Amino acid sequence: MNASSQFPHDSTTQLVLQTIDAYERSAKKCVARWNQRRHRRPRLLAEWLQCLPVDGRLLDLGCGGGKDAGDLSQRGYRVVGLDRTSALLLAGRRRYRSLPLVRADLRSLPFQAMSFDGLWAAASLMHLPKPDARRILTDLCRLVRPGGLFAATMTHGVRSRLVTDGWVPGRYFARWRKDELARAVRRAGWKILELKVVTNRERKGRWLNLLAQRQSGAGGNFDGLHVWHDGRTLPQDVEKGHPRRS
C-alpha cells in the first residue's frame, strides 16, 4: 500500500510523497556522500546513550542507509532501523546484512506499544508537516517503555517550505521555533530533559536538539498501533509483508 492510498484525506500527503521521491531519485548520491565521511557519533546521540541500558532496544527513525543504526548495532545495542525510502534501505541492507531494517511510514508505525527503550530521529521528523509531526510525537511516546528516551534533531526557524534547490532538491522542511516544539513535545506526553538551538554541528544551519523522556502513565491508550513482534522474532518488511532475511 502506498502513502497516497493509506492517507487519502491527508492534505499534507503530497508534501511527504515529494520528499520521498526526492530521496529515491537521489539515493545513490546520498549514500556516496555519507560514505565519504568518517562516521562520527553526534553529540546528542552520545548524550542519549548515556541514559540508556547497554543492551537496550532502540529504534532509528528515518535511518536512511543505516549508518547510525549500524554503528549502534556493532556496539551491542538491539537496533531496528526504519525508513520510507526503498533505495536507501536497499543500500543499508547491502552494507549491514544482519541489521533489521523496516520500510514503513512514520505516520503509521508498525510496532507494538512499549517495544523500545529509546528512539533516535536525526533529521527525519523535520520532513513532516507540523500537524503530522504533532500526532506522531504522541504515537512515539507509546512506543517506549515508561522512562524511555527520545532524541531528535529538527530544523530551527519560522518558514516551512518545499526546497527546490540544494544537493537533494524537492524536499519539504518544517522549521520549528523552540517554544513551539516544546509545547508539542510536552502535549504528546514527553518530559523535556534538554532542548537547545545549535548551529553548524553535524549539519549546516540552525537546528533544535531535543532530548526527552516518556513520563510515567503518558501515551494514552495503545489502540491502533500495529503489532510486529512478540519479543522473539525480527521485524517484518512492511511493504513486502514477510520477514527480511539477511
pLDDT digits 0-9 by tens, 99-114: 999 999 999 999 999 9
The CATH fold assigned to 12-243 is Rossmann fold (3.40.50)
Instruction: Name which of 5-14, 197-206, 215-224, 227-236 the model is least confident about.
Output: 227-236
How confident is the model at residue 170, as a pLDDT?
96
How confident is the model at residue 218, as a pLDDT?
63
Do 96 and 128 meet the contact criterion of CB atoms below 8 Å apart?
no
Quick one: cell of 121? Answer: 530521529
Q: Identify which of 232, 75, 213 has the alpha carbon closest to the alpha carbon of residue 147.
A: 213
* Side chain identity, residue 160: S
The gap between the terminal CA atoms of the chain, to the nearest Å, is 24
* pLDDT interval class at 235 (50, 70, 90): very low
Determine whether 20 is exposed, middle or buried from the number of CB atoms within 10 Å of its CB (0-12, 13-18, 19+): buried
The residue that leads in pLDDT, 183 or 42, is 183
> Is pLDDT of 177 > 80?
yes
Domain residue spans of the chain = 12-243
Q: Identify which of 242, 142, 133, 131 has the alpha carbon closest to the alpha carbon of residue 189.
A: 142
